[in-house]
Amino acid sequence: MVAHLVRLKLALLRNSLKRSPWQLVGLIIGGLYGLGILALLLAGLAALGAADPEAIGTVVVLAGAAVVLGWLVVPVVLNGLDMTLDPARFTTYSIPMKSLLAGLLLSSFIGIPGAITLLASVGTAASWWSHPLAGVVALLCGALGAVTCITASRAVTAASASLASSRRFKDVSGIVVLLPLLFLGPIINGISSGVSNFSAYLPQLANSISWTPLGAVWAVPAEIAQGHYGPAGLKFLIALATIAALVWVWKACLARALVTPAFAGGARRGAGKMGFFGWFPATPAGAVAARCLTYWFRDPRYSAGLLMAPLLPLVFVFAGSQFGGGTAIGVALGFGAALAAFLVAWSISADISYDNTAFALHVATGISGLADRTGRAMAAGVLALPLGVLYAVVGAIFSKDMSQLPGTLGLVLAVVGSGLGLASVFSARFTSNVPLPGDSPLKTRPGNGFSAALIQLAGFAGLGVLVLPELILLIVALVSGQVLYSWLALVVGMILGAVFLAIGVRQGAKIYDKRAPELLLSVSVDR
């Protein structure tokens, strides 16, 4: 049975390669990348072997613990990283639990991340070439470490899957994990400057980690090499207990998942709550706007973007504060305002791709291109404009220089107008592979090749050209300090923003009317 599962995984891999040559290219590139990393790692480990056992131990424990942590966190972020052998699909076969666990565990090593982790873990033995006994132990502990990684990720996946059969949990968890990632730079920066003597701190950290489930398995060889057989035995026991506990959690969650159907609905709710549909006029364009705005808040793929957009300027501010001064922060916020507004406005360039085949309703009802484009632009505009204005005002307050506010507002208006106009054309012309409805917003899908990146780049460049007048006027205003240019930027921004919006929506509508069935076909391929 175990062999069957492993063979099944191989067959799935082979078949996925047959489907498209790009899959093979992806696998080869991924494999080469992995092998490169592996070679570097092994070389590094071998070089490390010249150091004293304590130093080797510190490095191996910290790196190993980081790898285990990675295997724990990544599946949560990427909503089922590798579900080719989704346990739920085995429900109808009466596979003994032990065989299922062993089969899933072994088959996890087939695939680039699993294989590289196993090889690198066992490869830690290379760093113990001057301590043969520790080297032999490292071979065993490396294999155990890799098993820890896999069981950890499997246990977390199974646990979150049984927690997350509710859709709301799935929707929220993807976004929540996103936030710390966004602020990783500032956080690391803060920590590293906070701990003044970082290198002295590391061995201490490694020592504490080596007693935890994360690091115990990696610390055993180091203890052996230093002749501390007592601690070595204890840490080995911790490592074994860790694996046993993880397997137990995995087994318990799996057993529950196998008898619990995937469907779990929310509470039933009666009629009468029309939400945003009450806010907009009861016209086709108004309905599209209401629907899109509902999606901005209810669909995690949109709301993740909506959450990111106001936070990104804060990263700018962080950079600005390094240069010092409230003025710098204010200016950074001003440009951040334009960036945030742009991020929201530009998201609708992939609107139809996000609709996926639900777009069939638009085609079937024969809604005019003008109404479709206007509605989508309206919904994004309702969000982008206040966001941009708010940041511009806050920025002006920070820099204590109200004279630049009109210019910043001009830039925001220009970015929103031109961005929406340009995105209206782009979304009628191009579709791309985006996360499917219900998927994690972070899930990247294969097939978004060079052309998609080129299209995005063309969009950014196009926008850059369209807002150039306002940008130049604002920079002149900032440099010269003359209020006139700032007001000029506002006037030009208002006029050009409105003009580009009107042209973009009209052009987009023309393309939409001609190509709606083709758009539907191109998103249908992708489901």
Binding site for another protein (CB under 8 A): 167, 263, 265-275, 277, 282-284, 286-288, 290-291, 294-295, 298-299, 355-358, 360-368, 371, 437-438, 517-518, 520-521, 524, 527
Contact status, residue 484 vs residue 407, Cβ threshold 8 Å = no
Nearest distance from C-beta of residue 509 to another protein, angstroms = 13
Q: How far is the CB of 455 from another protein (least distance, A)?
A: 23
What DSSP state is assigned to residue 275? G
Indicate the residue among 222 and 509 with the shorter CB distance to another protein.
509
For the CB of residue 367, give the shortest distance to another protein in the complex, in Å.
5
Best CA proximity match to 216, nearest among 141, 159, 150: 141
Q: Which of 210, 378, 348, 351 is nearest to 284 (CA)?
A: 378
Give the tokens for residue 223.
């203890």
In the complex, what is the shortest distance from the CB of residue 223 to another protein, in angstroms, rounded to a whole number?
Answer: 53
Is-contact 121 143, C-beta < 8 A? yes
The rounded Cα 95 to chain-centroid distance in angstroms is 35
Say how many CA atoms lie within 13 Å of 370 toward its Cβ.
4
Between 243 and 288, name the residue whose CB sits nearer to another protein: 288
Looking at the Cβ atoms of 223 and 299, the one nearer to another protein is 299
**Smallest distance from the beta carbon of 385 to another protein, in angstroms?**
23
Q: Which is closer to another protein, CB of 235 or CB of 362?
A: 362
Closest to another protein by CB, 89 or 298: 298
- CA-based nearest residue to 116, from 145, 87, 96: 145
Closest contact distance (angstroms) between CB of 297 and another protein is: 9
Residues 6+ apart with CB under 8 A from 101: 247, 250, 251, 254
Token pair 């990544």: residue:
74
Please state the closest distance from residue 169 (CB atom) to another protein, in A: 13
CA distance 506 to 126: 65
Give the E-state strand segments of 25-137 in sequence order.
none
Nearer to another protein, 190 or 281 (CB): 281
What Å distances lie between residue 142 and 75, 104, 217, CA to CA? Answer: 22, 19, 8
- Distance of alpha carbon 50 from alpha carbon 128, whole angstroms: 9
CB atoms within 10 A of CB 525: 10
Q: Which is nearer to another protein, 214 or 519 (CB)?
A: 519
In 3D space, the residue among 502, 279, 526 whose CA is nearest the CA of residue 382 turns out to be: 279
CB atoms within 10 A of CB 1: 13
Cβ at position 258, least distance to another protein in Å: 21
> What is the DSSP secondary structure assignment for residue 220, as one 8-state letter?
H
Task: Using the Cα atoms of residue 39, residue 43, residue 46 and residue 48 in order, give the sign of their dihedral.
Answer: negative
- Closest CB to another protein among residues 268, 400: 268
Give 131 or 301: the residue with its C-beta nearer to another protein.
301
Residues 297 and 302: their CA atoms lie apart, in Å, by: 7
Work out how close the CB of 291 gets to another protein at its nearest, in angstroms, rounded to a whole number. Answer: 6
Q: How far is the CB of 522 from another protein (least distance, A)?
A: 12
Q: Given the complex with another protein, which of 280 and 346 has the nearer CB atom?
A: 280
* Cβ distance to another protein smaller for residue 269 or 400: 269
The CA–CA distances, whole Å, from 49 to 54, 204, 226, 319, 409 equal 11, 20, 14, 39, 60
Task: Evaluate whether 381 touches 416 at the Cβ level (below 8 Å).
Answer: yes
Least distance between another protein and beta carbon 416 (Å):
25
What would the two tokens of residue 89 be?
């699909």
Q: Minimum distance from CB of 438 to another protein (Å)?
A: 7
Task: Give 167 or 228: the residue with its C-beta nearer to another protein.
Answer: 167
Burial of 355 (0-12, 13-18, 19+ CB in 10 A): buried
By beta-carbon proximity to another protein, the closer residue of 171 and 470 is: 171
Spell out the residues 6+ positions from residue 451 whose beta carbon is closer than 8 angstroms to its own.
Answer: none
Q: Which is nearer to another protein, 285 or 471 (CB)?
A: 285
Shortest Cβ 273–another protein spacing (Å): 5
Element (H, E) at 233: helix 229-259
Closest distance of CB 345 from another protein, Å? 21
Question: Helix H segments across 111-183?
Answer: 112-123, 132-163, 167-182
Q: What are phi and psi of 243, to 5 degrees?
A: -60, -45
Angle at 201 between CA 196 and CA 204, to 5 degrees: 160
